[in-house]
Structure 1
């Protein structure tokens, strides 16, 4: 399994099927993937090998000199799949995971997307439209990068322990990163989901029930990709941190594992 030298990796577990977990957020955050997926660390003691990268410009990985870009990140995430792995992506990391799956579908045993940042795919839904209008207002009418980062975190539902921004400089950097996020087009997302469906990759989309917009997006993504949508009750954008999540994820991944004979 290879990865670029500049990508910091956290590993949990020494044996079992490989699972690659891709976090969201915006460049400038010092919070890495190990915090975003802290509740999944226990799976390393349950027969899974987890690989958790810090995306470029996040956590311990240095800034890449470009905006957050799902297609660019998807290229190196695809390399982390090795000869086969389960793939999990949260928020913008869901866009990255989908790009990686479309790039190397034969290496993906299953794909789990947690509250994916794919609003463009469901912009016809009124809940999604209202959310996107609020998001645009946050980007346009935040008169400083620091203010933008704080308003974005509240809108998205990011809990304090994960949102980053412990210093003013970090909040400024995150605010600049949010303004430059390169979100895939609806056509790109649809094409990649069609690749996933055509390849027969088991797809699970999880949302937390706290946001009608994210639930609508989750249902749409599952429909286009031929997968299933599950709501795991959560008070915020991180249903993967709720105790009920891990049993659902592991059952799904076990069901996608190849069977001998």
Structure 2
């Protein structure tokens, strides 16, 4: 990935910091509002090791289409407080967080989950379908993360999260990457942000979210039964869940499917224009909460 692509994660935007307070805790967020009354509100949920800033390149693109955008850090991610309890990071509990946040923002709303966030937003929809006008699974799969480099990284890191500490793990990882002649170090200020985000996140969140992502069963049929309109969107060269598995998931759901060219696992960063257009066009189709009941 080139430097111009990865620097988009630090894209300037018109959003403002927001703390969403719910009966389940407080969550750090970025709130992006259009100048006039929003067409609708969308809640964006990041993936494993991610944060609300992962959606920065599409904030203002969606704002210009009339949508209010709220992107969050899940519990234990970056600026949201975490827990030391394993059960706090199950799909059920993290999904319940999303439902609680949705109620604070006003339901029904559009919901987007990137990668691991897709598994969590699916759990939220399964628990309370009426809270959501639609669901977008962005670069997420039907079940646990399949075997490959990303799964190996999570499995390899877990035994060391507490023993070594996040700072040492991050710096050691960067040193290892530097040994690859094809690797390009991110420029500042992105480099500093990525390090700060990782080392200030909860080690317990990384441990237990990782376990959750590696054990989630296939719940595609259950999601289809909710009747919530769904978009399956992924990069043409996704290297986490394969494009083939995501396409099959879309078919099984009867969902709209959009493939983003020039993107791998982070289409909002790698091709923000096409990603924002796909989201806004999908949301415009379901501008109200009306849908066929399950």
- TM-score w.r.t. length of structure 1: 0.75
- Give the structure 1 partner of residue 4 of structure 2: none
Query: What is the CA RMSD across the aligned residues, in angstroms?
Result: 3.6
> What SS class does the counterpart of residue 81 from structure 1 fall into?
helix
Residue from 73, 83, 102 that aligns with 2:94: 73
Name the CA distance, whole Å, in 2 between partners of 1:169 and 1:9: 17
> What SS class does the counterpart of residue 65 from structure 1 fall into?
coil
CA displacement, residues 57-105 of structure 1 (integer Å, 9 cap, x when unaligned):
1121112223543221100211233330000000111111101111111
1:246, CA displacement in angstroms?
0.8
- Give the structure 1 partner of residue 47 of structure 2: 24
- Give the structure 2 partner of residue 113 of structure 1: 137
- Give the structure 1 partner of residue 231 of structure 2: 204
Instruction: Give 5+ residue unaligned stretches, structure 2.
Output: 1-19, 162-168
Structure 2 residue 75 is matched with structure 1 residue 52: no
Verify the 8 A CA contact 1:209 1:234 in the aligned structure 2.
Answer: yes
Verify the 8 A CA contact 1:95 1:116 in the aligned structure 2.
Answer: yes
Name the CA distance, whole Å, in 2 between partners of 1:39 and 1:257: 23
> What SS class does the counterpart of residue 85 from structure 2 fall into?
coil
Residue from 279, 282, 288 that aligns with 1:249: 279
Name the CA distance, whole Å, in 2 between partners of 1:230 and 1:245: 9
> What SS class does the counterpart of residue 60 from structure 1 fall into?
coil
- TM-score w.r.t. length of structure 2: 0.68
- Give the structure 1 partner of residue 58 of structure 2: 40
Structure with larger Rg: 2
- Give the structure 2 partner of residue 231 of structure 1: 259
Verify the 8 A CA contact 1:149 1:175 in the aligned structure 2.
Answer: no
> What SS class does the counterpart of residue 58 from structure 1 fall into?
coil
- Give the structure 1 partner of residue 206 of structure 2: 177
Structure 2 residue 29 is matched with structure 1 residue 9: yes
Bigger mean CA deviation after superposition, 134-143 or 214-223:
134-143
Verify the 8 A CA contact 2:28 2:80 in the aligned structure 1.
Answer: yes
CA displacement, residues 218-244 of structure 1 (integer Å, 9 cap, x when unaligned):
113213322122210134321123121
- Give the structure 2 partner of residue 124 of structure 1: none
1:39, CA displacement in angstroms?
1.9
Cα pair distance change 1:172/1:9, threshold 3 Å: closer
Cα pair distance change 1:11/1:165, threshold 3 Å: closer
Instruction: Give 5+ residue unaligned stretches, structure 1.
Output: 122-127
> What SS class does the counterpart of residue 98 from structure 1 fall into?
helix
Number of corresponding residues: 238
Name the CA distance, whole Å, in 1 between partners of 2:205 and 2:95: 22
